[in-house]
Amino acid sequence: MSEPIFKTTDRCRGCGAEGLRNFLDLGRVPLADALVPESRRGIEEARYPLTVAFCPSCSLVQIRETVPATTLFGEEYPYYSSFSPYLVEHSRRNVEAIVDDRRLGPDHLAVELASNDGYLLQWFQKAGVKVLGIDPAPGPAQAAIEKGIPTLVEFFDDDMAGRLRSEGVVADVIIGNNVLAHVPNQNRFVAGIARLLADDGIAVHEFPYVRDLVDHVEFDTIYHEHACYFSVHAVRDLYGRHGLPLIKVEHLPIHGGSLRVTFGRGSAPDPSVEEYLSEERRIGLTDFTYYEAFAGRVKNVKAELRALLDDLKSEGASIAAYGAAAKGTTLLNYTGVGANYLEYVVDRNVHKQNWYMPGVDLPIHDPAVLVTDRPDYTLILAWNFKDEIIAQQQEYVEAGGRFVIPIPHPAVQ
């Protein structure tokens, strides 16, 4: 077994205060994207504790454990954004709105942090804006480079921003979608953004909203890649400490409910900022009590899911799963649903096919197998894309296949 190497934090990753209060313990789980190749099957996998805490000083929700970034995002990192047409389209609309609003052209530079396979920067490039991607995961970064998107295969932080600035690089727009949560040292990352951004530039970031996580019991989106889970309050305070005011907040349906936040020094805040802050105060999102009952609700999902799958199994049904998603690793390992209930997992990402789901030894196949094999039920692990997945799988549905959705209440759809 490879040794689980990690650190445990006693201080808030945002404001540095002591006194973090734990509210959920997901046990010891493997790393969510550490898919197992055939050659390592049967070798015991490293498992890491996963504990979620709230900071009473700045209300940032975070995990206590930090796994080295090079372990999380190394050679075998399998997440490629372009496998979801919905995400690619979502990004196109986002970029077009920014290009129009900021009147961007060939004299402007858009930088994306965690640019992955170029799924988003391609749209800036098509609009004639200069682009620079930064992503430490070699596989997706290489895919971007092959598409002609200049990409630096590195972790972004304040030092890197300083180096880029000294080379004359200044960003008019810095995009960071689903990256902020992945950064253990939040302050070095945000300091880098403040340094790289032009005085009148904007930073536009998306990340899952902690309010949606709690309200819809999205506990499976908690894994070691995600160090932090943000409210508007927490993110405003974090960027404010680096001189970047929050100027706009939008709430989007993607990934089970996300925030898109815009920071910039050059414009006055839009009314949305105060609207979200006062709504968070009204519902108590900045108080520990909001999170206290969460662990009990997570346990209920586990019990309900197992009861539902037991019922289906007792009728003699066969069950597969859709989506070798990172969140699938948390869900399957925490609920104890593996080869005892499921035959296999399917996923469109060819980089995941023929590998095995971490901790549960389930093989990952091409989704076409659903039509040839016709399992009676398919548990959707990538529930955030359930409409897209069900629409794609009409042949399976017409052949009698049914879907099971695991959260917020496990049910046959």
Provide the binding-site residues for ligand JHZ, judged by CB under 6 A: 79, 83-84, 178, 225, 255, 323-327, 347-349, 352, 382, 384-385, 388-389, 392
Residue closer to ligand JHZ, measured from CB, 286 or 392 = 392
With beta carbons less than 8 A apart as the criterion, state whether 203 and 262 touch. Answer: yes
Residue closer to ligand JHZ, measured from CB, 89 or 275 = 89
| The token pair that represents 384 in the structure block | 């955030």
Instruction: State the nearest-atom distance from the C-beta of 321 to ligand JHZ, in Å.
Output: 10
Instruction: State the nearest-atom distance from the C-beta of 139 to ligand JHZ, in Å.
Output: 13
Name residue 24's beta-bridge partners. 52
Nearest in space to 78 (alpha carbons), one of 367, 348, 369, 338: 348
Largest CA distance in the chain: 67
Instruction: State the nearest-atom distance from the C-beta of 79 to ligand JHZ, in Å.
Output: 5
Residue closer to ligand JHZ, measured from CB, 259 or 389 = 389
Residue closer to ligand JHZ, measured from CB, 136 or 201 = 136
Instruction: State the nearest-atom distance from the C-beta of 322 to ligand JHZ, in Å.
Output: 7
Instruction: State the nearest-atom distance from the C-beta of 84 to ligand JHZ, in Å.
Output: 4
Residue closer to ligand JHZ, measured from CB, 391 or 399 = 391
Residue closer to ligand JHZ, measured from CB, 54 or 79 = 79
With beta carbons less than 8 A apart as the criterion, state whether 144 and 115 touch. Answer: yes
Burial profile 81-106: b = 16 or more Cβ within 10 angstroms, e = fewer: bbbbeebeebbbebbeebbeebebee
Instruction: State the nearest-atom distance from the C-beta of 381 to ligand JHZ, in Å.
Output: 8
Nearest in space to 147 (alpha carbons), one of 127, 164, 131: 131
- The C-alpha atoms of residue 383 and residue 406 are separated, in whole angstroms, by 8
Residue closer to ligand JHZ, measured from CB, 29 or 324 = 324
CA-based Rg of the chain, rounded to a whole angstrom?
21
Residue closer to ligand JHZ, measured from CB, 248 or 255 = 255
Residue closer to ligand JHZ, measured from CB, 24 or 345 = 345
| 18: enclosing H helix or E strand | none
Instruction: State the nearest-atom distance from the C-beta of 136 to ligand JHZ, in Å.
Output: 12
Instruction: State the nearest-atom distance from the C-beta of 313 to ligand JHZ, in Å.
Output: 24
- The C-alpha atoms of residue 127 and residue 159 are separated, in whole angstroms, by 30
What residue has token string 């089970």? 256
Residue closer to ligand JHZ, measured from CB, 201 or 257 = 257
**DSSP class of 64:** S
With beta carbons less than 8 A apart as the criterion, state whether 135 and 150 touch. Answer: no
Instruction: State the nearest-atom distance from the C-beta of 114 to ligand JHZ, in Å.
Output: 8
Annotate 293-361 with DSSP letters as a single string: THHHHHHHHHHHHHHHHHHHHHTT--EEEE---HHHHHHHHHHT-STTT-S-EE-S-TTTTTSB-TTT-
Which amino acid does the sequence have at 409? H
Instruction: State the nearest-atom distance from the C-beta of 409 to ligand JHZ, in Å.
Output: 19
166 CB neighbour count, 10 Å cutoff:
8
Q: In what order do the strands lie in the sheet with 228-229?
A: 21-29, 48-54, 61-63, 228-229
